[in-house]
Amino acid sequence: MTFKTKLDAAWQQSGSMLMVGLDPDPKRFPDQLQGRKDAIYEFCREIVDLTAPFVCGFKPQIAYFSASGAEDQLEALCRHIKQNHPDLPLVLDAKRGDIGSTAEQYAREAYERYGADAVTVNPYMGHDSVAPYLEWKDRGIIVLCRTSNPGGSDLQFVEDSEGTPLYLRVASMVADQWNQNGQCGLVVGATFPQEIAKVRERVGDMPLLIPGIGAQGGSIPDTVQAGRDSRGLGMMINSSRAILYASKGEGWREAAAEAARATRDAINAVA
């Protein structure tokens, strides 16, 4: 089972292209969890179990754990996901990028320590900075291409002498050179549906991780129309804050589950 086959099966079985991003910010936790020592784990574990029926996978964002020294809680959370939701891909959002000998260490962190099926990586340092990840044949990398934030344009929109913007060069490089074994995906932000369409045209049915709906304002219909592959699948459409923090009061569990269900339905409703 590779990352790609696991993701394909998850799309089919779940009937969902929603991925829930786990960005635990203790200040925004429900009142019931405030002050608990394992609040990060407990909150994320509950979110995972509540939203699992409506998603194609989970994406913990490591910075939110590292800032609080909570790597042990991230380890426990990843174990929980793999034990209780073994069919749902686990994508570690870490956006790593370093020389080969260091990338070997980051690959161990993502795949061995946390058991991730895939990890997000940054392309700026080129082919030998991703090669160590690709040695793990059953795992995947998802490469930053066109990010959802305003500053993404600073470099990603720079055009080369032939008028090709950098993000499309990245898409081509990944599709033509790095994806020999079908281990790669790309990050393309929902805030730029025109660029999603250009990337999709360039890379065929390669999986796209699409942040930027929800709190960042990207449109679900525009995203789905631009990003679906030849089978009508092909996207991990991420939502984090809009689901995690749907409510802070007593009904937070129901609110989170309902937000996930409604987002899945909104994705599936696009004709």
Contact 119, 103 (CB under 8 A): no
Taking CB under 8 A as the criterion, the residue among 14, 51, 73, 156 binding a second copy is: 156
Phi-psi region of 217 (alpha: psi -120 to 50; beta: other; left: phi over 0): left
Q: How far is the CB of 18 from a second copy (least distance, A)?
A: 19
Closer CB to a second copy, residue 11 or residue 192?
A: 192
Q: Per rule CB under 8 A, is residue 151 in the interface with a second copy?
A: yes
CA distance 38 to 11: 32
173 in Cβ contact with 123 (< 8 Å): yes
- Identify which of residues 121 and 256 has a Cβ nearer to a second copy in the complex: 121
User: Which one, 10 or 208, has the nearer CB to a second copy?
Assistant: 208
Q: What three-state secondary structure class fits 95?
A: strand
Residue 61, strand partner residues: 93
Which of 9, 33, 76, 173 binds a second copy (CB under 8 A)? It is 173
Q: Single out the segment in contact with a second copy by CB under 8 A; choices: 29-37, 40-48, 146-154, 222-230.
A: 146-154
d(C-alpha 263, C-alpha 243), whole Å: 9
Residues numbered 190-219 forming contacts with a second copy, rule: CB under 8 A: 211
* Shortest distance, position 14 Cβ to a second copy, whole Å: 26
248 tagged catalytic: no
Least CB distance to a second copy at residue 118 (A):
17
Q: Applying CB under 8 A, which of residues 155, 194, 204, 250 lies at the interface with a second copy? A: 155
CA nearest to 226, candidates 249, 203, 259? 203
Kindly state the helix (H) or strand (E) to which residue 119 belongs, with its residue range.
Answer: strand 118-121
Instruction: Provide the minimum distance between the beta carbon of 228 and a second copy in the complex, in angstroms, as a whole number.
Output: 24
Instruction: Scan residues 174-193 and list those touching a second copy (CB under 8 A).
Output: none
Task: Please pick, among 6, 27, 59, 95, the residue that the annotation labels catalytic.
Answer: 95
Among 31, 38, 135, 159, which residue sits at the site for a second copy (rule: CB under 8 A)? Answer: 159
Full DSSP string of 35-77: T-TTHHHHHHHHHHHHHGGG-SEEEEBHHHHHTTT-HHHHHHH
Q: Is 169 a binder of a second copy (CB under 8 A)?
A: yes
In angstroms, the CA 4 to CA 207 distance is 8
Contacts (CB under 8 A) with a second copy, residues 110-139: 112-113, 122-130
Task: Work out whether 166 is an interface residue with a second copy (CB under 8 A).
Answer: yes
SS3 sequence of 193-211: HHHHHHHHHHHCCCCEEEC
Q: d(Cα 52, Cα 70) in Å, to the nearest integer?
A: 23
The binding site for a second copy (CB under 8 A) comprises 23, 61, 63-64, 66-67, 69, 71, 75, 95-103, 105-106, 108-109, 112-113, 122-130, 144, 147-156, 158-161, 163, 166, 169-170, 173, 211
Q: Report the catalytic residues.
A: 95
